[in-house]
Structure 1
Amino acid sequence: MSIRAIDEAPLNAFHRKLTWACAGGPFLDGYLLSIIGVSLIGMSNELHLTTADESLIGAAALVGIFIGGLCFGAVTDRLGREAMYTIDLAVLVGGSVLSVFATETWQFVILRFILGVAIGADYPIATSLLAEWVPNKHRGRLLGVLILAWYIGAAAAYAVGFVLAEIGGSGTWRWMIASSAVLSALILLMRIGTPESPLWLVNKGRTEDAQKAIERALDRTVPTKELLAASATEQSLQQHGFRDLCRGRYLRRTLFCGLFYMCQITPMFALYTFGPTILGSFGLGDGNDSNLGSALISIVFVLGCLPALRLVDRIGRRPVIVWSFALMVLPLLVLGGGSSLPLAVVVLCFCAYALFSGGPTVLEWTYPNELFPTSIRATAGGVATSISRVGAAAGTYLLPISLSTLGIGVTMLIGAGITLLGWLVSVLWAEETRGRTLAETSALPATQPTASAGERRAKLREDEYEGS
């Protein structure tokens, strides 16, 4: 059972505002992770940081994202999307402000860890809220927009870092960090007043609150009978918990979401790191110009996502992810030729990979939100994020070791192998969810209630409502 007022609603100002507000979390992720790398130069000079200090500061946020995604998705399913939606942004604002005044390594490490936890928590919070508010036919595209925000945030950080460094040199590093506090505060203001997810409210039996939320956001009156029927269906389904992600069909879906995410992001982080070396050949790899080059890399990946945004709702999720992984393998195999390749071929392969990677990229948060029911939707999204960060951390840590010991050619072939694993996982486990309601995409055959059972529950609830 679904809520037709949401599933069939035309896109309006509320949907656009909600999409931008939800995209603020990934934007801040890209910005915060990138701005610290830009500011570390000035920070190290002024605070006399060692290499170990810099590594701790850089890794703290990644560890925090892992913890935040793993833990706070479940909290969101328990307490609601609306409350967590603003709390985690308030933490980002506070942590960013305190970072401006930090003077010791341990202070930066703790604050970066806290910021990482808030970012990791925001992924399942914001994506589940958006998924439960947008119409079926636009869900894939709008959820895909969120991942674009990450690259835009990273590009913005490098651009801001470039401008500030040009104006005041590396001594402007505190201003760079302060910029993240300002952006976090602006996005927090955008989020204030967002109504709770009607599906979450219905799942908790709060049909009157769901009715008010829909009227407020969409200016549409939902018949009480429809909400009671939706609530009855939700209540007739088993209310799942964290352990259900490790059982039966949901285990397969958990592994699929986590593994394809990890297989997509691990080689991508490697190429993201290798990118400045490529651009260095064009004079954009030294000094402050490297920040401009890194911004250009982010823009290339943004451009790669644009075709996929249209295709996921036009031809479907499964063909997009399967064909994208298959095509992503090809440029990595060519790059396996190593440093002897002509520069033009290297740049062409880099651009081809960025273009083809758009498919899995825009589905990183679509699949977890579509394949799991309301009671564990945010939990599943958090777990998928945490699994992916294992790959991201491993790729970031092992890349320089692999480059120095195995060479660039073998390193790229390893990336091709990881990508091929992502293709295999997608061929075996990717499901088609295009154009279907969240109730349909998340239901399992063994747990779907019979029509008569759902109708009996709905009738009982309706009778109780009319008799009260």
Structure 2
Amino acid sequence: MDNPLKAIEEKKLNFFHIKAMFVTGAGMITDGYDLTTGSLVLSLVLSSLNLSLESVSIVLFASIISGNAVGALLFGYLTRKGRTKFYGIDAALMIVGALMQAFVSTPLELALARFVLGIGIGADYVLTPLLMGEYSNRKDRGKLMGLAGGFMWIVGAILSTLATLLALNFFPANVAWRVALASGALPALFVLYERTRIPETPHYLAFVKGDTKELKEKYGVEVGSFGQSLGQRARLLLRSKKLLVPLSLAALSWYLYDVVSYSEGFFGPNKIAEFIGVSGIVFSLIVNAGFSLPFNFFGAVLSDKVGRKVMQAIGFLGMGIPLFLFPFFDKNLAVALVLFGLSNSFSSIGPGNIIAYWGVEMFPAAVRGLTQSITVLGGRLGVITTTLLFPILLESWGVPTVIVMLGILAMVATGITLTLKEMKGKSLSEVEREYLMDTGEFTAKSAGSASESSDLK
């Protein structure tokens, strides 16, 4: 098969790519913002609503993560009908869910608000990497997906820390946590309009919708007809071992990553920070601004040069070793902070950057929304595991033992990563060829170049 989208995939990095990165990345800012705020105000919510640690964990975290799972599966399925068709809806859900938190008076109301918020964020976990991947050029796809994903998440976490600090200084405690949580609506609000105007992706038009007219008008390329319907191709693909094995491994790697990273993220600014003798806000700022953000940026850039698999494997290993060493230095504040900083640095440079690539890059367009939603679901199950088990383990085993366990899980994830397929420098159209061309499911007519009217020019 000649690549009908070659001219688009070989374009140099341009303004459209950068704009798309910010418009799509706003959802990740919202996620990082809201989950970090939840961890920072955990003790205030606990006392304000008279909850135990286990109960407040369910109200603040299990609710939003359950919403993530629902949003990922629902919107992953809906991407068959269009990548951008529902892109404003997820932002609207994030805005409504965040604002609802300002007016709650019971744990049930707070859990419901965060569930609504979680649906929007879960949808964004599918749509942001999918859209960014299908808009990107081949050579810069890794850095664009990384910056729109993990990097923006950390930006959201830092903004959340600063906003929480301001809220605590200007409002009484019972109001401050509501203001901090509700302010998470701002990132999604800023991009709601742009999300309703963003164009449909060329890969969807070429390989899913098969809309020759729109593809030619927007991107200046032509694609022939498909031999089977989308539904027939999707069912065939989902029964294929060629798809199921790598999909399962990708989802498992995300599961393990979220078990480890969210255990640190949810409870680090309170229980772990308290254990080593530093305030939660200081702990969060040091870890995110001093370690995570710069390393995440370099990880995004390096993913197109070094490769996804190598970066993620190194990242998991670098996460695990400092955590494994933690009990030997847990009484030394400076060393404990450095160990957590190193763990977060390697997390950012590796899986924190790359974990969301696999569901998009390894699979063809007909099922890409679904494969991405399944890998997201793997991650959300990891967060739910953390939410339900981590408070119990902290109480039963103590901080040092639990941290060692997390280090071991990170090392296991290193081995799983090495089984995944390297996607560095590979065009998404090559993925179509690998999965579909052998069965003669479609033919494509390539165009020599994209027209000057292309949205990606």
CA contact (8 A) 2:251 2:379 kept: yes
| 1:149 aligned residue | 152
Identity %: 24
Per-residue deviation, 1:200: 0.7
Which residue of 162, 167, 175 maps to 2:179?
175
Matched, 1:248 2:241: yes
Residues 204 and 9 from structure 1, CA distance in 2 versus in 1: closer, same or farther, beyond 3 angstroms?
same
Cα separation, 2, equivalents of 1:333 and 1:42: 31
Residues 284 and 347 from structure 1, CA distance in 2 versus in 1: closer, same or farther, beyond 3 angstroms?
closer
Residues 353 and 105 from structure 1, CA distance in 2 versus in 1: closer, same or farther, beyond 3 angstroms?
closer
| 2:64 aligned residue | 61
Which consecutive unaligned segments of at least 5 residues does structure 2 have? 447-457
Cα separation, 2, equivalents of 1:425 and 1:439: 26
Which residue of 288, 293, 299 maps to 1:308?
299
Cα separation, 1, equivalents of 2:202 and 2:314: 35
Cα separation, 1, equivalents of 2:155 and 2:113: 23
- Secondary structure, in 3 states, of the residue corresponding to 2:86? helix
Question: In the alignment, residue 69 of structure 2 is paired with which amino acid?
Answer: F
CA contact (8 A) 1:336 1:411 kept: no
CA contact (8 A) 1:373 1:438 kept: yes
Matched, 1:239 2:237: no
Which consecutive unaligned segments of at least 5 residues does structure 1 have? 215-221, 460-468
Report which of the two has the higher share of helix.
1
Residues 131 and 235 from structure 1, CA distance in 2 versus in 1: closer, same or farther, beyond 3 angstroms?
farther
Which residue of 256, 268, 273 maps to 1:263?
256
- Secondary structure, in 3 states, of the residue corresponding to 2:223? helix
Which residue of 435, 439, 455 maps to 2:429?
439
CA contact (8 A) 2:4 2:223 kept: no
- Secondary structure, in 3 states, of the residue corresponding to 1:313? coil
Question: In the alignment, residue 268 of structure 2 is paired with which amino acid?
Answer: F
Question: In the alignment, residue 257 of structure 1 is paired with which amino acid?
Answer: A
Matched, 1:386 2:377: yes
Matched pairs, number: 436
| 1:212 aligned residue | 217
Q: Where in structure 2 are the equivalents of 1:299-448 lying within 5 Å?
A: 299=289, 300-337=291-328, 339=330, 342-357=332-347, 358-427=349-418, 429-441=419-431, 443-444=433-434, 447-448=436-437
Per-residue deviation, 1:3: 0.4
Can you list the C-alpha shifts for 1:343-373, whole angstroms capped at 9, x where unaligned? Answer: 4432332222122222111111212110111
Cα separation, 2, equivalents of 1:53 and 1:350: 26
CA contact (8 A) 2:326 2:403 kept: yes
Question: In the alignment, residue 200 of structure 1 is paired with which amino acid?
Answer: Y
Per-residue deviation, 1:448: 2.6
Residues 211 and 320 from structure 1, CA distance in 2 versus in 1: closer, same or farther, beyond 3 angstroms?
same
Cα separation, 1, equivalents of 2:107 and 2:269: 29
Segment of structure 1 superposing worse, 34-43 or 8-17? 34-43
CA contact (8 A) 1:141 1:313 kept: yes
| 1:274 aligned residue | 268
Question: In the alignment, residue 183 of structure 2 is paired with which amino acid?
Answer: S
| 1:466 aligned residue | none
Can you list the C-alpha shifts for 1:7-30, whole angstroms capped at 9, x where unaligned? Answer: 011222211111001101111111
- Secondary structure, in 3 states, of the residue corresponding to 1:211? helix
Can you list the C-alpha shifts for 1:166-188, whole angstroms capped at 9, x where unaligned? Answer: 12232334432442233321121
Matched, 1:200 2:191: no
Residues 166 and 292 from structure 1, CA distance in 2 versus in 1: closer, same or farther, beyond 3 angstroms?
farther
Cα separation, 1, equivalents of 2:203 and 2:322: 42
Cα separation, 2, equivalents of 1:338 and 1:161: 30
Question: TM-score under structure 2 normalisation?
Answer: 0.86
CA contact (8 A) 1:339 1:408 kept: no
Per-residue deviation, 1:6: 1.7
Per-residue deviation, 1:251: 1.0
Residues 190 and 255 from structure 1, CA distance in 2 versus in 1: closer, same or farther, beyond 3 angstroms?
same
Which residue of 57, 70, 76 maps to 1:73?
76
Cα separation, 1, equivalents of 2:258 and 2:275: 25
The root-mean-square deviation of aligned C-alpha atoms, in Å, is 2.9
Question: In the alignment, residue 315 of structure 2 is paired with which amino acid?
Answer: S
Residues 277 and 297 from structure 1, CA distance in 2 versus in 1: closer, same or farther, beyond 3 angstroms?
farther
Per-residue deviation, 1:100: 3.0
Per-residue deviation, 1:389: 1.4
Per-residue deviation, 1:113: 0.9
- Secondary structure, in 3 states, of the residue corresponding to 1:136? coil
Residues 410 and 34 from structure 1, CA distance in 2 versus in 1: closer, same or farther, beyond 3 angstroms?
closer
Segment of structure 1 superposing worse, 33-42 or 55-64? 33-42
Question: TM-score under structure 1 normalisation?
Answer: 0.84
CA contact (8 A) 1:199 1:210 kept: no
Cα separation, 2, equivalents of 1:118 and 1:208: 32
Residues 153 and 390 from structure 1, CA distance in 2 versus in 1: closer, same or farther, beyond 3 angstroms?
same
CA contact (8 A) 2:329 2:336 kept: no
Residues 279 and 249 from structure 1, CA distance in 2 versus in 1: closer, same or farther, beyond 3 angstroms?
same
CA contact (8 A) 2:98 2:182 kept: yes
- Secondary structure, in 3 states, of the residue corresponding to 1:57? helix
